[in-house]
Homo-oligomer: A and B are copies of this chain.
Amino acid sequence: MTPAGFPSAQAAETAFYAAFENADYVAMAAVWSPDDDIECIHPLGERLMGPKAVGNSWRRMFSGGKRMKFRLAHTKCFQTEQLAIHILYENITIAGKQQPPLIATNIYRFNGHGWHMILHHASPATDIGKTDDMENTVTTGPVVH
């Protein structure tokens, strides 16, 4: 863990997905707040609460040896001085094969020095009609209907 934290929520998010792609447990642990109140919900998984349960889940996942490539899309941000909420699509490729899209709500907290992740809530999304749309709008930010 890194008590100092990241200079911005966006920097923490970039580090989160880099650690995820690299299956780097130490880098992943540094993204998360060391506080007891963190939570992590992997797709269709249970609520993992606290650094021990959250850390173990990443260690298990990374020891599985599957390397994932992420393409993130439609990131929506809500930001205040102390909290930042990012909602986005995760489009994951494993061994060149595109997986069904996931939706993630990622939350970051400022501890007075820097930013850490305090929540990752990921879940499967309906994929009907989504892939083409996301292909074209990956960098356009939030879509408002």
Residues on A lying within 8 angstroms of B by beta carbon are: 36-37, 39, 41, 43-50, 52-53, 74, 76, 78, 80-83, 85, 87, 89, 103, 105, 107, 109, 118-119, 121, 123-126, 128, 130, 142-145
Contact = CB atoms under 8 A, between A and B. Distances in A.
Given A143-B49, A144-B50, A39 B87 contact: yes
Contacts of A125: 41, 44-47
B126 A45 contact: yes
Contacts of A52: 145
Contact of A123 (B44, B48, B109): B44
Contact of A121 (B39, B103, B128): B103
Given A44-B123, A46-B126, A126-B44, A80 B83 contact: yes
Contact of A78 (B43, B46, B107): B107
A27 to B, nearest CB: 23
A41 B144 contact: no
Contacts of A119: 78, 85, 87, 105
